[in-house]
Amino acid sequence: MQADIETATTTALPQGHLVQHRFGDRAFKWLTLLMALAVFALIFLIGSELWRGSHLALRKFGWRFLFSKDWNPVSEQFGALPFIFGTLVSSLIALLIAVPVSIASAVFLTELAPKWLRQPLITFIELLAAVPSVILGLWGVFVMVPWLREHLYPGPVYGVSMLAGGIIIAIMIVPIITSVSREILRSVPGLQREAAYALGATRWEVTRIAVLSYAKKGLFGAVILGLGRALGETMAVTMVIGNRPEIAASLFAPGYTLASVVANEFTEATTDIYLNALFEIGLVLLGVTILVNAIARLLLRTFGGAGVKAQP
Amino acid sequence: MPNEETRSCIVLGSRLLQSSFRLLQSHMTAPNHNWRKFKNSFMQALTLACALFVIAPLGLVFYHLVKSGVGSVNWDFFTKLPKPVGEVGGGMANAIVGTFVLLGIAACVGVPVGVLGGVYLSEYGSSRLNGWIRFGADVLNGVPSIIWGMVVYALVVIPMKGFSAWAGGMVLGMMMIPFIMRTTEEVLQLVPNGYREAALALGIAQWRAIVQIVVRTALKGIITGVLLALARVSGETAPLLFTAFGNQFWAHKLTQPIAALPLQIFSYAISPYDDWHRQAWAGALVLLLLITAINVTVRVLTRDRIHKNP
Amino acid sequence: MNLIMPPEEEKIIPQTRAEPRIESREPKPDALASALDSRPSTPSIPALTVKNLSVYFGKNQVLKGVSLEVQARAVTAIIGPSGCGKSTFLRALNRMHELVPEARMTGEIRLFGEDIYAGGVEPVIVRRRVGMVFQKSNPFPTMSIADNVTVGLRLNGVRARATLVDRMEKSLRMAALWDEVKDRLHSPAINLSGGQQQRLCIARALAVQPEVLLMDEPASALDPLATAKIEDLILELKKDFTIVIVTHNMQQAARISDSTAFLYLGELIEFDATRKIFTNPARKQTEDYVTGRFG
């Protein structure tokens, strides 16, 4: 670099100097571009590997795969319905539990909390976000499930159940819904709040009128984002949901999710068709997750929703 | 000047309002005032309760981790290998080392790609392409971790004809790429343009300016981004299930399956042996401490940044 | 009148009519809105009495000992260069500055004789009696025009549809907006133009029948035509309301106000009848400012 500066200041830049710069610049630019495009390469790889890995099953079962209830490695009959059911139901339970609580917490943290309480609570919620799925599952299977069995469940049951799965997923998605909701609420313009205050509204009324209705769309996006996270949740669910590929009417019966069946049975898939079926489950899961996340991003793009139209 | 019509409207309205002007001064506090105050306090209490309810599981998990795990975190735990199935004792030395090995490989994969990709997003690139790349990174962030495992299984494990540390490190590294790319881009965007211009005005090549000036300025932020990514993937279990696979012994070569803390915790937890359950708690405690340590380091490193209001 | 104090303490202030106290929580439509009282003659006490008002944001003192009296049913303008504390002064009048965490005030402000900063006085009530219109119009985007106007009433427990519709129409007429929106009362408020939105905000503030209306540079974001409409509006409104308006537009102050206060760097330099301020000010600083020598 020293040499460059000297050259630059003592003589007019010689041709070779410029060319050398240009090469270095171009090479670096292409290098970084290549790395950035790795994103697309990864997406392509994921899609293509899942597709290739499941082609046997795709050919054999076709669309029936999504609607068939049998999951029988022995007779080589594979259907994804129990897992789709399990994923949907457990995610739904998780949303029912997590959404009201998360949004209420976000409201508290941005609008109603006294200043000294805010940061500690936020820190705790971020800590919760850092807890790995497997540790939460550990607590779930050794603490939560026995407690549920003793205190909540009617009659003799295993303890591991769809409900337990839903609860544990709820715990995992609360941090993300809360933090995204907080961002959304914070982005509501202060002018809206002032308008409500100036009318003599109480703090809660200001929140209700000026903040929550303004942020409706964004909050919904936060919920969908939480759903996307819930769909892909694997370890904690596997440890508490019971892992039985059945569609049962009771929430207290064991269930099975798309992610769990792959986690449990992947290394034991002895036949090609078995492995392909699992890959196909992965494909279904990928498709659903990407779709849900895309919807969430769309909703969150106009961060906070109802913008004020600029008119002459 | 408003026209006659508007004028008369204003006059009419004002007269009407005058004549029916019932000042609320007669009962200044609106009749529902106390109810409004009550609602205000009630909602404050309710949302506070929800916030506490949200952090309750954290407290419970921590409590049980400490209660059940702290007794088992001893010297043996850190230095001994697992005993054969059913025997009491032993430790998770190989899993702890294995986690670090995997994180090391992951960093080698994820950091160059992520940081350089972030450099591109911030310093070069058209806004259209960048928009697509960011969108792609968001898509990748939403891919369930188990799917990453399946993909790397197909890409690495099958050709290598076996589970390996390479595969485990690769999958963790790949998972880190979108995150590191985004955080690097954000941090680089914060570097004032003045620095870039000053460097270029000195006749320094653009690529050098970026690497030696811009990146160097933002280095702390980039490092914290990498640390956060490492903290996240260190707890991942699902993708390792069929890449690193786990190992009850030391992995002497990186082409062999390797143990990792989360894997060990999982397999011990679902086993029928009480002693393994005890060790699972210990492993979980150690893992959580590791993650917390990384997060705290990040906090300390970013402390002299201007904090946004919560 | 039982004014700002909570209902338990009934302070009867002289000069005002004694009104029967409404016992039930839910006001009957008649009781709340349609009593045909004749307007009292202009009260002889000032609408607002400010004594030695100082406002601090943390360590920074923004207002230094400002004292003045705002006459009822008149327009008082606050003028001064940027950063002189005009907006802060305005916000202290309805306790809006308290929304900023490190804000502190010393001094006294009385609304028709009552101390609005006395212990036990709730800002919520003060703000209903002293309304505010902001520089940038801020109608609630998720509500219709009608809902925007009536939101203040509904907050205060007015439920009767007839009352709400009636009051809404009157407020919109007062704000010179009725004719333009009467056919689309239920369309979203954000579809209005900037000038219309601002008049909607004025109607919204008027609907709760404040005793004083504060206006923080209400026309600064509007084009000259819309500005003229707002100024005419203010001239009509002052027959029934006390208005305090902050403006950086001296010609506007000269046109519409009765008294003018000139603030500079947080201090009140001069406060007098508008005509005097603009033709024969007592202080040189005032003269320099109104003639455009600085600011």
Q: Evaluate whether C3 touches C114 at the Cβ level (below 8 Å).
A: yes
Cβ–Cβ < 8 Å for B280, B92: no
Q: Is the pLDDT of residue B170 over 90?
A: yes
Domain count, chain C: 1
User: How many residues make up chain A in this entry?
Assistant: 312
Residue A159: per-residue pLDDT: 78
Contacts B5 to C, Cβ<8 Å: 179
Higher pLDDT: A283 or C41? It is: A283
Specify the length of chain C in residues: 295
Q: Span B113-135, mean pLDDT?
A: 90
pLDDT, residue C2, reads 34
Residue C159 CB partners (closer than 8 Å, separation 6+): C26
What's the pLDDT at B302? 82
What mean pLDDT comes out for the span B148-169? 93
8 Å CB contact between C107 and C153: no
Weakest-pLDDT range from A197-206, A247-256, B45-54, B162-171: A247-256
Of A1, A207, A266, the CB nearest to B208: A1
Who among B17, B26, B33 is closest to C240 (CB)?
A: B17
Which residues face A71 on adjacent strands? A78
C26 touches chain B (CB under 8 A): yes
Out of A212-216, B171-175, C17-21, pick the least confident.
Answer: C17-21
Is there a contact between A104 and B291 if contact means CB atoms under 8 Å apart?
Answer: no
CA angle, residues C107, C109, C110, in degrees to nearest 5: 145
- Laid out side by side, the sheet with C212-216 consists of C130-133, C212-216, C242-246, C75-79, C259-264, C267-273
Going by pLDDT thresholds of 50, 70 and 90, the confidence category of residue A308 is very low
The SS3 call for residue A30 is helix
Give the distance, in angstroms, between the CA of residue C97 and the centroid of all CA atoms in the same chain.
14
Task: Look at residue B18 and tell me whether its pLDDT is greater than 70.
Answer: no
Distance CA B88, CA A261 (A): 31
Q: Phi first, then psi: what are they for C144, rounded to 5°?
A: -75, 175
Average pLDDT (A241-262) is 88
Flag if A200 and C125 touch (Cβ within 8 Å): yes
Determine whether the interchain pair C205/A201 forms a contact, defined as Cβ–Cβ distance below 8 Å.
no
Q: What is the pLDDT of residue C107?
A: 92
| Residue A144: DSSP 8-state | I
Please indicate whether, in this complex, the C-beta atoms of B31 and C239 are within 8 angstroms of each other.
no
CATH class entry, domain B94-301: mainly alpha
CA distance B7 to chain C (A): 8
Helix axis angle for C145-155 and C161-174, nearest 10°, is 120
Torsion region of C2: left, alpha or beta (phi above 0 gives left; psi -120 to 50 gives alpha)? beta
Parallel, antiparallel, or unpaired: how do β-strands C114-115 and C103-111 relate?
antiparallel
Residues belonging to chain B: 310
Of the candidate ranges C87-101, C132-146, C281-295, the one whose mean pLDDT is the lowest: C281-295
**Could you give the CA distance from residue B209 to residue B206 in angstroms, rounded to a whole number?**
5
C-alpha span between C21 and C6 (Å, rounded): 13
Identify the H or E element spanning C225.
helix C224-237
Whether A96 and chain B come into contact, CB under 8 Å, resolves to no
Task: Give me the residues paired with residue C245 across strands.
Answer: C77, C215
pLDDT exceeds 90 at position C243 = yes
The string of pLDDT tens digits covering residues B190-224 is 998 888 888 888 888 888 888 888 888 899 999 99
Query: What is the mean predicted confidence (pLDDT) over A205-223?
Result: 91
**Residue C39 to residue B21, Cβ atoms within 8 A:** yes
Does residue C215 lie within any of the structural domains?
yes
CATH number of the domain that residue C109 is part of? 3.40.50.300
Torsions phi, psi for A32 (to 5 deg): -65, -35
pLDDT over threshold 50, residue A304: no
B171 pLDDT higher than 80: yes
C6-20 mean pLDDT: 39
Residue of A nearest to C129 (CA): A200
Beta strands A77-78 and A71-72 are antiparallel
| DSSP code, position C120 | T
Q: Does C143 touch chain A (CB under 8 A)?
A: yes
Task: Quote the tokens at residue B103.
Answer: 């994180």
- Please determine, for residue C173, whether its predicted confidence score (pLDDT) is greater than 60: yes
Q: What backbone torsions phi and psi does residue B235 show, to the nearest 5 degrees?
A: -95, 0
More confident of the two residues C25 and A102: A102
> Which among A97, A57, A65 has a CA at the least distance from the CA of A84?
A65
- Tell me the nearest-neighbour CA distance from B87 into chain A, angstroms: 21
Computed over every residue of chain B, the mean pLDDT equals 86
Distance (Å, whole) CA A44 – CA C21: 75
Q: pLDDT band for A113, please (50, 70, 90 cuts).
A: confident
Q: Is B242 on the interface with A (CB under 8 A)?
A: yes
Q: Give C140's contacts in chain A (Cβ within 8 Å).
A: 192, 195-196, 209-210, 213-214
Say which DSSP state A110 is in: I
Determine the Cα–Cα distance for residues A186 and A106; give it in Å rounded to an integer: 10
Give me the mean pLDDT over the C172-176 stretch. 90
Whether the predicted pLDDT of A82 surpasses 80: yes
> Closest-CA residue in chain B for A98?
B54
Residue C129 structure tokens:
């009696």
pLDDT for A303 equals 60
Answer whether residue B66 shows pLDDT above 50: yes
Cβ atoms < 10 Å from Cβ of A52 = 12
Nearest to B238 among A228, A235, A294 (CB): A235
Q: What is the pLDDT of residues C249-273, one digit of tens each?
A: 888 999 999 999 999 999 999 999 9
- DSSP conformational letter for C258: S
pLDDT of residue C12 exceeding 80: no
Least confident piece of the model among A190-194, A303-307, B165-169:
A303-307
Q: Which of A13-22, A170-179, B101-110 has the lowest mean pLDDT?
A: A13-22
The predicted structure's pLDDT at residue B304: 63
Supply the pLDDT for residue B28.
Answer: 52
Cα–Cα distance measured from residue C166 to residue A202, given in angstroms and rounded to the nearest whole number: 25
Q: Quote ipTM for the complex.
A: 0.85
3-state secondary structure of C105: strand
> For C102-145, how does the pLDDT look when each residue is reduced to its tens digit (9 = 90+)?
899 999 999 988 999 988 888 888 998 999 999 988 999 888 99
CB contact under 8 A, B151 and A21: no
- Domains of chain B, by residue range, sit at 94-301
d(CA A165, CA A236) in angstroms, rounded, equals 8
Q: What is the DSSP string of chain B?
A: ---HHHHHHHHHHHHHHHHT---GGGG-S-TTHHHHHHHHHHHHHHHHHHHHHHHHHHHHHHHHHHHHHGGG-SHHHHHPPBPSTT---B--HHHHHHHHHHHHHHHHHHHHHHHHHHHHHHHS--HHHHHHHHHHHHHHHTS-HHHHHHHHIIIIIHHHTS--HHHHHHHHHHHHHHHHHHHHHHHHHTS-HHHHHHHHHTT--HHHIIIIIIIHHTHHHHHHHHHHHHHHHHT--HHHHTTTB--SS---STTS-B--HHHHHHHHHTSS-HHHHHHHHHHHHHHHHHHHHHHHHHHHHTTTSPPPP-
Instruction: Give the minimum alpha-carbon distance from C147 to chain A in angstroms, rounded to a whole number.
Output: 11
Nearest to A276 by CA among A49, A46, A43: A49
Q: How confident is the model at residue B84 (pLDDT cuts 50, 70, 90)?
A: confident
What letter does residue C262 receive in the DSSP assignment?
E
Nearest by CB to residue B20, choosing from C19, C33, C178, is C33
pLDDT in tens, B264-296: 999 999 988 888 898 999 999 999 999 999 998
Q: Has residue B15 got a pLDDT over 70?
A: no
Q: Please report the pLDDT score of residue B204 as a whole number.
A: 81
Q: Check residues C1 and A129 and name the one with the higher pLDDT.
A: A129
Closest CA relative to residue A201, chosen from C124, C97, C100, C98: C124
Name the CA radius of gyration of chain C, rounded.
19
> For position C290, what pLDDT does the model report?
86
Q: Which of B55, B112, B120 sits opposite A128 (nearest CB)?
A: B55
Contact A165, A237 (CB under 8 A): yes
Give me the amino acid identity at C107: G
Q: How far apart are the first and last CA of chain B?
A: 49
Q: Is C201 on the interface with A (CB under 8 A)?
A: yes
C55-79 confidence digits (pLDDT tens): 999 889 999 999 999 999 999 999 9
If one counts every other C-beta atom within 10 angstroms of the C-beta of residue A115, the result is 9
**Backbone phi, psi, residue A289, to 5°:** -65, -45
Please give the C-alpha separations between residue B87 and each of B262, B279, C230, in angstroms, as whole numbers. 21, 12, 87
Residue type for B169, please?
G
Chain B residues within 8 A (CB-CB) of chain C? 1-2, 5-7, 9-14, 16-36
Average pLDDT over residues A244-268: 89
Residue B23 confidence (pLDDT) above 50: no
φ, ψ for residue C244, nearest 5 deg:
-120, 125
pLDDT digits (tens, 9 = 90+) for B228-258: 999 999 999 999 999 999 888 888 888 999 9
> What domain range is C203 assigned to?
45-290
- Residue C27 pLDDT more than 70? no
Instruction: Indicate the burial class of C224 (C-beta count within 10 angstroms; 0-12, 13-18, 19 or more).
Output: exposed
Category of A239 on φ-ψ map: left (φ > 0), alpha (ψ -120 to 50) or beta: alpha
Q: What is the dihedral of CA B222, B226, B231, B234, to 10 degrees?
A: 180
Least CB–CB distance from A312: residue in C140, C141, C193: C193
pLDDT at A149: 85
How is residue B115 written in tokens?
Answer: 């940081």
Per the CB < 8 A criterion, the answer to whether A203 and B44 are in contact is yes
Q: What is the pTM of this model?
A: 0.80
Residue showing tokens 């699902």: B238
Using CB atoms, which residue from B54, B65, B151 is nearest to A46?
Answer: B151
Who wins on pLDDT, B76 or C145?
Answer: C145
- Asked if residue B5 has pLDDT above 70, the reply is no
Distance from CA of B59 to the nearest CA of A (A): 9
Distance of alpha carbon C121 from alpha carbon C114, whole angstroms: 10
Q: Look up residue A208 and give its two tokens.
A: 């209700």
pLDDT above 50: residue B3: yes
Mean pLDDT over each residue of chain C, to the nearest integer: 83
Which residues, 6+ apart, have CB-to-CB distance to C122 below 8 Å?
Answer: C4, C6
Confidence of residue B81 (pLDDT cuts 50, 70, 90): confident
Mutate which: B47, B145, B268, vs A, most A CBs within 10 A: B47
Beta carbons of B33 and C255 less than 8 angstroms apart: no
Mutate to test the interface with C, among A187, A191, A199 (most CBs of C within 10 A): A199
DSSP string, A191-226: HHHHHHHHTT--HHHHIIIIIITTTHHHHHHHHHHH
